[in-house]
Amino acid sequence: MKQLLVFSVVLTALILFGCKSNQNEVVVYTSVDQVFSEPILKDFEKETGIKVKALYDTEETKSTGVLNRLIAEKANPRCDVFWSGDPVRTIVLKNKNILTPYKSKNAAGINDVFKDPEYYWTGFSARARVLLYNKNLLKPADVPESIFDLTTKKYKGKVVIANPLFGTTTFHIAALFSLLGDEKAKEFLDALKKNDLIIATSNGDVKNRVVKGEAACGLTDTDDAFEAVKENTNVGYLFLDQKGIGDLIMPNTVCLIKNSPNPENGKKLIDYLLSKQTEAKLAKSCAQMPLHKGVETPRDVPSLDNIVPMKINYAKTAEKLEQIQNYLKKWVND
């Protein structure tokens, strides 16, 4: 089934991008949910007159479908810009010599921790990994505050995560490996599995299972958590490990593909995505947290200034993500 989904991404791209490029278009591949990314791209199209051809990842193959396609297209790039929901896949592309550096004028106001030092990629509008919990199943005193609490007997059979072979869950686990080391990270994952962990198909599936009471709590991203809280009074969320290792912060990233067909239009799109205007739109549509200072946000969107972040090296985490793929496949299937 997963191979079929990846094939469908490739087939869609062949249909959409099989024709020769023209000078008034830009091609973007993105792993960001279409419901949030498409309106931004449509606004860019309206404001610049540049036609946007977009390829969106599926929910089930999140971040892997377009990543694998970009790798396959290295010798003959069809894409100009990759808009990723996290930095790790972007760094994988940098390490495979698929990107070319671009220093956007709008990168100046963004903290260096969220930028490649050589400007192969730049981060913007961040999400975080959070714990979503069902208030009917967990009393306030029983809500875990650390990710490591999830391995205890108290939460046996009550915790759900998305399939770690895809999306931000892979990023989260790779971050734990880079921070804790392989031995301790594997001990943690094994303990989760032995505690009757529920594995869902996606972060959206995690959200739905917690809302319905099929799980007491689950790890997901802030956009899914905020949506759940907005629509349901029976759920809440919290940032984990605020007295420990900190919470994983996941900025969007954008990069220019090496030898792309429309590099100048690609640069214009990157400038647009890195603007305060785009960060304000993403804060409003999906509660993403701006990396620029002074961006107007809805009242319920938290500030990164008030969150203790997990202190990770994104480049090291990208390397670790590739190294643990075989282990994760075995862990999921055993």
Question: Residue 8's pLDDT band (boundaries 50, 70, 90)?
Answer: very low
**Residue that the structure tokens 């997963």 belong to:** 2
pLDDT in tens, 224-268: 999 899 899 999 999 999 999 999 999 999 999 999 999 999 999
* CATH number for the segment(s) 127-248+325-333: 3.40.190.10
45 in Cβ contact with 51 (< 8 Å): yes
CA distances from 180 to 217, 286, 310, 312 (A): 23, 31, 11, 10
* CATH number for the segment(s) 2-126+251-302: 3.40.190.10
Q: What percent of the chain has pLDDT over 90?
A: 81
Question: How far is Cα 200 from Cα 224, in angstroms, rounded to an integer?
Answer: 14
Stated as kind and residue range, the H or E segment containing 53 is strand 51-56
pLDDT at 58 over 90: no
Mean of pLDDT values over 213-227: 95
Question: Residue 149's pLDDT band (boundaries 50, 70, 90)?
Answer: very high
Q: Where are the domains of the chain?
A: 2-126+251-302, 127-248+325-333
Question: Residue 33's pLDDT band (boundaries 50, 70, 90)?
Answer: confident
This prediction has a pTM of 0.81
Q: Spell out the residues 6+ positions from residue 291 whose beta carbon is closer than 8 angstroms to its own.
A: 109, 110, 111, 114, 123, 124, 125, 126, 251, 279, 304
80 in Cβ contact with 50 (< 8 Å): no
Please return the burial class of 40, using the count of CB atoms within 10 Å of its CB with bins 0-12, 13-18 and 19+: buried
Evaluate whether 2-126+251-302 and 127-248+325-333 have a shared fold. Answer: yes
Mean of pLDDT values over 155-179: 95
pLDDT at 13 over 80: no
Compute φ and ψ for 33, nearest 5 degrees.
-45, 130
What 3-state class would DSSP assign to 320? helix
User: What value does the mean pLDDT of the chain take?
Assistant: 91
pLDDT at 40 over 60: yes
pLDDT at 64 over 90: no
Q: Spell out the residues 6+ positions from residue 75 whose beta carbon is closer than 8 angstroms to its own.
A: none
Question: How far is Cα 306 from Cα 302, in angstroms, rounded to an integer?
Answer: 7
pLDDT at 310 over 50: yes
